[in-house]
Structure 1
Amino acid sequence: MSDKEQGLLPLAAEQAAILAKCRNAFCHAVIEKFNCMAILHNIKESEALSNTSGVFCAEKRYFTRLSSGVEISVWKDDLTQHKVEAVVNAANEKLQHGGGLAQALSMAGGPQIQRWSDDIIKRYGYVKTGEAVLTPAGNLPFKYIIHAVGPKVPQNPTQKEIGDATPLLYNAITSILQTVLRENITSVAIPALSSGLFNFPRDRCADIIVKAIKTFHDHGGFQGRNLEIHLVNNDEPSVQEMERATRAIFDPPSTSRLYSGAVKDSSQSMTSSTSQSLQFENIILYLKRGAIEDEMVDVLVNTIAPDCKLHQGVISRAILKKAGDEIQNEIYKKKSNTSFYSSKVLYKTKGYNLYCKSVFHTVCAHRSDSKSKEILFNVVLESLKKAAEDYESISFPAIGTGNLDFKKWEVAKIMMDAVAEFAKQNKRKKLDVYFVVFPKDNDMMKAFENEMKKRKGQATSPEVQHRQNYNVATKETTTNEMPSVMFQSATKCNESLREAKGWACNMLQLSGKSTINNNHVIYLGQKEHEFLLTLQAVFDVRIEEFFRSGNGGITITGSPSGVSCAAIEVESMLCKAQNDFARAEERDILYSVVRWSCKEEPWIQTPEISGILEKAFLAGEENHVFKNHKVSLKYELIVDNTGKTSSVKRKCLLDPFQSLNNSFYARNPVTKNYFLEIEGRKASTAFRLSIIKVEKLENIVLKQLFDKNRQRIKCQPKRLYQCVSAQYVDLICRVGFQKEFAPPAEQRHGNGIYFSTSVEGALKLWRNLEHEQYVYIIQAQVLTGNSAIGSPDFILPPSLKGDPLERYDSLSDMGETYVIFSVQQALPEYLVICAKSSSV
């Protein structure tokens, strides 16, 4: 059987209906329990529940509907779980998703996210700043990820650095919106791009993103599509800035912006600004209404007088006003430098505060000049040639209709002739060309429209064929229409696939009762219990928690379909609870061996923040960003939002240690050693098992704590065994043995962490794991020290010699079972995966 066949689970209609109601919870539980991805095929999502686990609810802060029907909203939510069709990822040029939002999406989406991204880079090279590419979303609860590369600025950037980066951020948002339209995406979530690791000021970032959306709308970019744009962040400062920007830009006081001192805001006249298009060879020509200074393209074309003074002429004044005086200064500084001229009629400057990369300033002749038409033709042609060398889009105003006194029909014909000629000469590179007509100039618009109609038959195609994007396959569907789930292991582990598939079959088995065993029910809080009440109402079931004999869980009764839906949601909720518990334990054990501190910023020294910084340090990150601070892990410095710099220290409390494969723990396959073979034969005889895989478990933090306790207890460790469920294997490797992870069928010897002296004994002790597809046995070194006879009533070992401050190190049955009460007394060494005879 192939890996694909092993991971494929066909679904009956009733089962598909269940997953339609709780697909997010199902996918979340699969990845948390088995480190696998669940890809659902031919299952339409239902709106029964709006959240994966019900613990965190998305919060909508703002909503407006534009005149085109496009809906804009601001949300506080986890972007990895937000309910849209596509989510935008803040990517870098190499599409290496190793930090921040990119890492969160990549981890949640599974390893194929990075694989698809690597394929894009391999095929097309790095993604330029300001561009966006598309991949599927893996096992995330939406269809696509749009990877957008925003600009990166230094810490505490100057106004000039922000000004230089601004057009690139505009371009990134435009690229996102163009991708959304091209792929017929109906809803997209956009975060505060570039405001995190890329240092772009949060308030300016919000302003630019919202203005870019409005400009795209005002210029008819949405083409009448029904679209929802969600501005989504999970940190309060970013959410507040987005809310402020959207209210200021979409709900402003009644004001008007002047164009050449006399014309109102173009948005007031843009209700019919939908662009028309025509294709010549590989050149796409768009005709649209708008203000040239608001264009979001690579190049703008401007007409200036021979003396290069930008305050002359309507278009030049508008460009000067928006770009700032620096654009005029650049022209003056370079006017006498012949290298500044790229041709006899074309000057090139930066875009400054415009939304473009460059501006081409052209000099034309008055219509009374005998060569004026030829000059105008050459101006357009030379601009196109120059743009094609380094850029992908260019916008022209209607050149010559002002002081140069050209007839509007003449301008339309000459400019379109130049585009047609360029298309014939240029066979190498594709270029998007925009003719931008001032909104109220209906005569000019009509002249261009008439000229375009005449050329429809001459053009290669009257329909626009968008240039190829860096997309990979956006669907991975089955060859038939039957609903199914495809499981993919993140580690190419067939055992994980079978465990996930078996669990899914159990969850989807229609029954009036389901019992979920998980000791993390003791950590559920008010929100989780409110969610359980919601599940009861939504699915018409009865939910009861239990905790007896050291084992806890939840029982659900009701209609078969309701029970299955509620059980899947509960599994997802409990997975989150156990992960929160593990993260807290992880922070504590890291804090026990290493501390990050800063005299000026004492909040750094808390276990939570110190643990976060240590994990980032071991992962090889150079910087880690908090809300108002950026920590340089490489140089041990912290910079706040005012630019103040302080020293940060990393201190190892025990022995110094370094990263272990970008982490502090690892699982590595090894050959079966002699001892395991002997134990395996014993187990095979009694329980018909076969050892199929052995992994070496390493954790440098647990090792230091174990060695420290070994010095205290002063005894030789025993080699003991524990039998665990598949979902706890990786957690034990991360944070060590916990009593919540592997309670035995009966806790006869105390409420602690149980071990057995043999594999055979472990299988008897944990007989409640018979439903597992495989048997997972962990071999450990355990410090049992002075051991007393156990009792079910013990929550700690009894005192030693009557001294309450001195206690026994462990409890036992004086045979093959030992119970300890501290994670630091046991060190996991090997994982042994065994197949039952029916699974071989």
Structure 2
Amino acid sequence: MNSKLDVPLHGHSLNIVRQSREALCEVLQSKFGCVAFIEGLDSDHDFGYAHKGKPTVEDWPRFAFMLRAGVQVSVWKGDLTIFKADAVVNAANTQLQHAGGLASALCKAGGPDVQRESNDYIRKHGDLKTGDAIVAGPGHLPCKHIIHAVGPRLPLYPTNSDISRAEPLLKEAIRSILDKVRERRLQSVAIPAISSGLFHYPLPQCADTIVSAVKEYYENYGPYKDHPKEIFLVNHDEPSVTEMTRACKQILAPHNAMTYSQVAASNSKDDAKTSTPSLQMGKVDLKLLKGNIEEQWTDVIVNTTGEDRNLSSGNVSSALLNKAGYEIQKELHYANQTGPVIITKAYRLHCKNVFHTFCAWKGGDAMQQANAQQILSNSVLECLRLAVSNNHKSIAFPAIGTGNLGFRAKEVAYIMLSAVSHFAQNTSKTLEVHVVIYPPDINTFQAFEEQMRYPKEKVSGPSFEPAFNNKDDFSGSKASFPQISLTGSSEEATREAERWLQGLFGSSGTVVLCNNFILHFGEQEHQQLSRLTKRGVRIQEYFQKGFAGITVKGELNEEVAVAGLQVEAILCKIQEEFVRDEEQEISRISTKNVSFQRETLHSSTQEYRDRTSLLSKLNLWMYKVEKVENPALETLFELKKKQLNRSTSRTMFQCISAQFLEMVCRIGFHAQCAPPQDSAFGEGIYFAGTVKKAMEVWMKPIEEYVYFVEAEVLTGNSTRGEQGLILPPAEANSVSGGPDIAVIFSGHQALPKYIITCKAR
């Protein structure tokens, strides 16, 4: 079950996040599996896509130019989470983990389906390569598709040679995007400054490369039916917009640049298309129309009526009665009511059925008003549910409540659209929803149009909660204080992330990082460390008793924390590359895709009860037990059994840090994940025979959570270990440090079976 936690920002922490928000999001995702949304920061020069206030799009392009192929290229300042185009492009990483920058903003606005679909793709097809692009669903975004494209990742301080090597890769990413647009015959696509944020591509060169790639793609073509009409170059920050505008003027023949009035004139033929505001939310297509409700050709038309069921009172009811004829009044009068909606035939209307709802007058005290709001929301939801359960494909609503029921137009827009949003998140059926506004009612149309411009992420929970911006504040408003909003797969994940953040923000001139992946640093990583030292920060590496570490020191606490965060990001990247390489090797040997499951066991199961005895006489209590299943690792374990000619294994334990749990489940055990407090018996992978012994071997301080991995270990022929061994002695398969300590030198000799999460008593 997902867990959410907010970490307030103030003072030093606020400045640290402002300087390194992208790295922070990456590290939180990599170390703890937490998606971080940074809220309440309002710097025009921030590249983290975490604005304060509503997302916006300027009303005119900064630049527009018509290519010879008939494709218009324009530069816009706007937020891609609300930009209207057939497709918007996400600057993705190779594993499609949307944790920082634009990716997290699109993922948040699009809802959980965006990340879920990406995970499914990677599970089936493997990682993308730099330059690749794929087409995916939009979730709740107001577009038809998201195109996930992988641009090149550069060092934190790239050299000219770094940029030269990256340029063809960025052009390849743009070509891949435009190929997808052509294949899907899309009319428009919105492209950001890919690689310029988290991937460190210098902005001026990034803009030049993107614009050149677009020009080169189309310059050899004449007008062609598969070409899109428009390429939008869209960024939300002023520096990116300025550089994109400059690049277009320099590269796309500036003497032919179009003014805004020319752009508007060239688009006038599309006015009919753009005059109908629409919003795609999962399988639900929402459209706002001007018209008469009784003239709609949808499968269902919704009507509101009073408890007396008299259709002659009320503007909507009267209009439907006049069009349908008296038969509809007769059927409604004698119908049995078993729920909040009565369904009748359509008679002379153009629909298949009419859904009659019974809403309440909004008057009286605050409780009565809130009750009326809830009834309205529930009525809309029930109509939508009945529509899909009866296999209808379209439904038309009037602006319920703006007449005799006493609701204000903005209030109705807010409630109805929130209900549609909530429904969209919980249906797998396709449904077209029309909100039909009587043409003279301009204020109501504008109220709905305004709400449709700024959809938020989702509605959570079964009750009426805000999904759209509520400018009237009729149900209260929430102050936007600076904070990091963490979403993780479990409570312990968000709590571990919070503790790590507190340690980072509370560092006083020194940050100590202990991580054996430091031993994998190469020339590039050491150059990155060297660049950090030029900012008034001192960095020192150390290795002692089997532990590798880095100490970051400086005069300014904030600079030290920022530098420490950058080092953490480097370590996370090293670990991700290590895991990716191991996955490929495991897949090659086992001939199976690497995938795993962590199933939380109920406390009533025998497997759970069997493990409670492991903690006897320890100052710990069992918080959670998860069963781990990884078919690829199981295959390798069985192969190792045959190789060692062993049919039995030994149940043993490791005490491990939270950040390595996912890695162990995915690729098994490695020495980097759990170096013991004293590697007196060799430089291999240590296991303890009991949980108590594991606490002694690793001597981890008991904070809130302690994690043990239970494994089946093939010790085979074993001999006494000694300091410095990197392989077992001849004729031995492992070494020991007494009856309760085993050291193996191949991760395939151990298979993770359970993760036991404990808490201090």
Q: What is the 5 A alignment of 1:636-785?
A: 664-671=595-602, 677=609, 680-681=612-613, 683-686=615-618, 688-715=619-646, 716-767=648-699, 769-770=700-701, 772-785=703-716
What secondary structure sits across from 2:681 in the alignment? Answer: coil
Choose 566-575 or 203-212, whichever is displaced more: 203-212
Deviation string 1:84-142 (CA, Å, 9 cap, x unpaired) is: 974589999999x9x998955489639756636689x9xxxxxxxx999796xxxxxxx
Contact 2:595 2:630 in 1 (8 A): yes
Unaligned 5+ segments in structure 1 are 52-66, 73-83, 122-129, 136-144, 152-161, 178-186, 232-242, 255-266, 276-287, 301-426, 430-457, 595-613, 616-662, 801-807
Cα separation, 2, equivalents of 1:49 and 1:92: 22
Contact 1:797 1:811 in 2 (8 A): yes
Letter in 1 for 2:670: Q
Cα separation, 1, equivalents of 2:691 and 2:659: 20
Give 1:545's aligned residue: 541
Counterpart of 1:533 (choices 530, 535, 560) is: 530
Give 2:590's aligned residue: 593
Cα separation, 2, equivalents of 1:530 and 1:19: 24
Cα separation, 1, equivalents of 2:219 and 2:517: 38
Contact 2:653 2:687 in 1 (8 A): yes
Give 2:23's aligned residue: 25
Deviation string 1:800-832 (CA, Å, 9 cap, x unpaired) is: 3xxxxxxx1000013200000001100110110
Contact 1:779 1:829 in 2 (8 A): yes
Does the alignment pair 1:816 with 2:748?
no
Cα separation, 2, equivalents of 1:511 and 1:665: 40
Cα 1:739–1:469 change in 2 (3 A) is same
Letter in 2 for 1:758: T
Cα separation, 1, equivalents of 2:112 and 2:94: 17
Does the alignment pair 1:34 with 2:40?
no
**1:773 Cα deviation (Å)?**
3.0
Letter in 1 for 2:626: E
**1:753 Cα deviation (Å)?**
0.3
Give 1:599's aligned residue: none
Counterpart of 1:273 (choices 241, 245, 261) is: 261
Q: What is the 5 A alignment of 1:276-355?
A: 288-290=264-266
Counterpart of 1:520 (choices 517, 522, 529) is: 517
Cα separation, 1, equivalents of 2:270 and 2:518: 53
Cα 1:296–1:93 change in 2 (3 A) is closer
Cα 1:696–1:204 change in 2 (3 A) is farther
What secondary structure sits across from 2:639 in the alignment? Answer: helix
**1:229 Cα deviation (Å)?**
8.5
Specify the structure having the higher radius of gyration (Cα): 1
Cα 1:468–1:171 change in 2 (3 A) is farther
Q: Aligned pair count? A: 491
Contact 2:187 2:228 in 1 (8 A): no
Give 1:283's aligned residue: none
Cα 1:474–1:732 change in 2 (3 A) is closer
Cα 1:517–1:116 change in 2 (3 A) is closer
Letter in 2 for 1:250: L
Give 2:455's aligned residue: 472
What secondary structure sits across from 2:662 in the alignment? Answer: helix
Contact 1:748 1:791 in 2 (8 A): yes
Cα 1:664–1:678 change in 2 (3 A) is closer
Contact 2:650 2:715 in 1 (8 A): yes
Give 2:253's aligned residue: 251
Give 2:104's aligned residue: 109
Letter in 1 for 2:104: G
What secondary structure sits across from 1:514 in the alignment? Answer: strand
Contact 1:720 1:757 in 2 (8 A): yes
Does the alignment pair 1:171 with 2:194?
no
Contact 1:541 1:562 in 2 (8 A): yes
Does the alignment pair 1:228 with 2:204?
no
Give 1:554's aligned residue: 550
Give 2:13's aligned residue: 15
Cα separation, 2, equivalents of 1:664 and 1:587: 12
Letter in 1 for 2:15: A
**1:669 Cα deviation (Å)?**
1.2
Cα separation, 2, equivalents of 1:591 and 1:670: 32
Q: What is the 5 A alignment of 1:627-638?
A: none
Give 1:342's aligned residue: none
Unaligned 5+ segments in structure 2 are 50-59, 66-76, 118-134, 148-177, 194-203, 275-396, 400-439, 459-466, 470-476
Contact 1:523 1:577 in 2 (8 A): yes
Cα 1:114–1:757 change in 2 (3 A) is farther
Give 1:352's aligned residue: none
Give 1:574's aligned residue: 571
Cα 1:812–1:114 change in 2 (3 A) is farther
What secondary structure sits across from 1:547 in the alignment? Answer: strand
RMSD over equivalenced CA pairs, Å: 5.6
What secondary structure sits across from 2:723 in the alignment? Answer: coil
Cα separation, 1, equivalents of 2:442 and 2:7: 48
What secondary structure sits across from 1:695 in the alignment? Answer: strand
Letter in 2 for 1:486: S
What secondary structure sits across from 1:228 in the alignment? Answer: helix
Cα separation, 2, equivalents of 1:510 and 1:668: 36
Task: Provide the TM-score with structure 2 as the length reference.
Answer: 0.54
Counterpart of 2:724 (choices 766, 790, 793) is: 793
Cα separation, 1, equivalents of 2:516 and 2:83: 37
Cα separation, 1, equivalents of 2:241 and 2:738: 67
Contact 1:134 1:471 in 2 (8 A): no
Cα separation, 2, equivalents of 1:89 and 1:102: 25
Cα 1:116–1:776 change in 2 (3 A) is closer
Cα 1:299–1:34 change in 2 (3 A) is closer
